[in-house]
Amino acid sequence: MQVNELKLRNFRNYQNADVHFSKGINVLMGQNAQGKTNLLEAIYVLALTKSHRATNNRDLIEWNDKKAAIWGEIQHKTGKTQLELTLSSKGKRARVNHIEQAKLSTYIGQLNVILFAPEDLKIVKGSPQVRRHFMDIEFGQMSSKYLYNTSQYRRILKQRNIYLRQLHLHKAKDLMYLDVLSDQLSAYAAEIIYQRVQLLGKLQKWSQSIHSEISQQQEVLKFNYVTSLRKKDLGSVEQIYQTLLAKFKANHEKEIRQGTTIFGPHRDDLRFMVNGKDVATFGSQGQQRTAALSTKLAEIDLMKEETNEYPVLLLDDVLSELDEGRQTHLLTAIQNKVQTFLTTTSMNGIATNLINNPKMFHIENGVIS
């Protein structure tokens, strides 16, 4: 999978840009605040319909305009696909091969991307919310079923939390309706948790090999999915569903007192264990970086395994954060395998001998040359 061409209209500081990319490594070079990350962000938004650094569409639209558009030609094994995303204050409109998509869930997955930025260290040592977001973004690209279940889960969770607050404030009394919401929520939650466990098992397999190589066979990386359910209750979707449903029934008074849903995938976490210890708490910064790098690189192979195509890799000023050894592993792993976009202010400190025939783009004030 690769991006052949990208067109931007009024996106961030790009009024009108049309650029063709190499199928290998594309280096986006320029000083800070010139538009390097904006270009990377445009590819990310084209893939996922949302930004990794903005929550409002307005932030993505050039200051004096009311809407922005991103168009891309995507090369798949089976042929070319035209993607178009229009952003405005009224929302988003997505088209695949000029056909408008009624739901964004049918659009996502046409272009798969993996973003690696310095803040991705937060995957290891950040809040549980960061890790849940990481799982949902990556697994949602690999599986339309996962994407659908998370969307429905959030919808029912919102309804259930509103009703729990109404029960708490004595504005509602019907516990049967709470049971209905609990049943619906448990069904979607069971699907999400089961898929997370399965995909994390595969991701661990790929990441262990990479991590072992980077650490020179001195360390073993494992993932620990942290949930309110016991490990023996995670064997099947039906088993998870029944266990969660029982938990909701046994704890509905507690949830009413608190006015919120206290069990489910929205409360779960992922821990990175190195040689049996939680690397976020007991690991050095170097071990945390290695765990994060191993996980991000493993995503490439997992996505290939799940979708039969390699994703596009976006590296936002990340090489300057890695020492020579980790740079070597990263650049060796992606060479001649995935289309890569790399932003940097300078090639100094980057192992350029490991980058074969990069296509160089200079970016200054939203102009690409």
Listed residue (303, 110, 310) closest to 199, CA to CA: 303
The contacts of residue 72 (CB under 8 Å, 6+ apart) are 3, 4, 5, 6, 7, 43, 46, 82, 83, 84, 111
Distance (Å, whole) CA 206 – CA 298? 5
Per-residue buried b or exposed e for 219-238, using 16+ beta carbons within 10 Å of the residue's own CB:
bebebebebbbeeebbeebe
Contact 203, 302 (CB under 8 A): yes
- Which residues make up each annotated binding site? 30-37
Rounded alpha-carbon distances, angstroms, from residue 290 to 74, 285, 338 = 31, 9, 20
Q: Which two tokens stand for residue 5?
A: 């061409």
Give the separation between CA 172 and CA 182, rounded to whole angstroms.
Answer: 16
Tell me how far apart the alpha carbons of residues 140 and 149 are, in angstroms, rounded to a whole number.
9
Cβ proximity of 82 and 96 under 8 Å: yes
Contact 201, 193 (CB under 8 A): no
Annotated binding-site ranges for ATP: 30-37
